[in-house]
Amino acid sequence: MNFRKFVVLTPKDTLGRDMEEVEMLFNLDHIVSLKPIRINRPDRLINGFWIRTTNGKKYKATKIPDDLIELIGEKYTLPLTASTDPDAQPSFQ
């Protein structure tokens, strides 16, 4: 087995309005896809990753192992700057 530690978002309450970060171990052999995404938090916009596993479950991760960052690209871990223009795309600092 090939386990690595990830930090994923889980709902704090049953309505899913508030999310908390939790450390989880994933078996890399059971990860089907890892996609860079932007996650909207109440206080900021952050880079994250959409993880899909072989059993069909999906997770939003805020941190992934360093060896996977090297594969997917380090630009997806850089902080984002948000513009006041609602139509503008966020950029990397």
Torsion on CA atoms 24, 1, 75, 78, rounded to nearest 10: 20
pLDDT tens digits, 17-47? 678 899 999 999 999 999 999 888 777 788 8
From CA 53, how far away is CA 58, in angstroms rounded?
7
pTM attached to this predicted model: 0.74
CATH class of segment(s) 3-80:
mainly beta
Whether pLDDT at 75 is above 80: no
Q: Which of 87, 38, 45 is nearest to 61 (CA)?
A: 38
Tokens representing 17 are 């309005």
